[in-house]
Amino acid sequence: MLQYVEYAAEGQHKASIIWLHGLGDSGEGFLPIAPELDLPDELGVRFIFPHAPEQAVTINGGMVMRAWYDIKTMDLDNRADETGVRESAEAVAALIQGELDKGIAPERIILAGFSQGGVIALHVAPRLEYKLGGVMALSTYMCVPQKLAAEAKQSELNIFMAHGSQDPVVAMSAGQQAYSVLHKQGYQVSWQDYPMAHQVCYEELIAIRQWLIATLS
């Protein structure tokens, strides 16, 4: 099971948000966002911030760091190592199962991810046997988008996407390509972009908060 840090629910635990970090980061990187979002106590949201396993990353000279998969090239079509993505997807699915085992209904679980974490979130949710409450995909792209139609087990999915128009790491066009694939699949996808780089901005946090409250209420 993936190791993680958490931000406990206020009062009774009624919903869970599993938030996956980006390359070289850790669960602690996004932990401060939980109190900043200031979600209503009555939603009973528990935040879980898993740590990706440590592995060598080719584009970073083979340096070992936390990564959900290896990146061997910056070419979008081959950027995400499919084998690594599928291994991390299984680990995240096990984490979701842990929440189900606690009695949290799937529609009360949100899977969120930034950059590499967003790739995993977009890979996992459509392929699960049950429908999650929603997916939050931030500054990210898709792995093997051409395989989604054949592998998807969910016909409906609520997806929040956001991207920086000045992102030098994951071009906004990569996010827009993912949006197009997901929309074609028939999913309910919303798109937001902001004049920012590879990051999360204040205006985006406001939109995330609104979406989370609407989705979990």
Cα–chain center distance at 115: 8
Looking at 26, 115, 123, 163, which residue is catalytic?
115
186 within 8 A of 126, measured Cβ to Cβ:
no
Whether residue 21 lies in the annotated active site: no
Whether residue 16 lies in the annotated active site: no
Tokens of 75: 């070419």
**What is the per-residue burial (b if ≥16 Cβ within 10 Å, else e) of 118-149?**
bbbbbbbbbbbeebbbbbbbbbbbbbebeebe
Whether residue 198 lies in the annotated active site: yes
Looking at 25, 70, 81, 167, which residue is catalytic?
167
Q: Return the closest-CA partner of residue 175 out of 203, 142, 148, 143.
A: 142
Tokens of 92: 């995240």
E strands within the chain? 4-7, 15-20, 45-50, 54-57, 63-66, 109-114, 134-138, 158-164, 188-194
Looking at 13, 51, 183, 198, which residue is catalytic?
198
HSE-CB at 117 with a 13 A cutoff on CA atoms is: 28
Q: Return the closest-CA partner of residue 119 out of 71, 155, 73.
A: 71
136 within 8 A of 208, measured Cβ to Cβ:
yes
Give the Cα-Cα-Cα angle 21, 156, 130 (nearest 5 degrees).
70
Residues labelled catalytic: 115, 167, 198
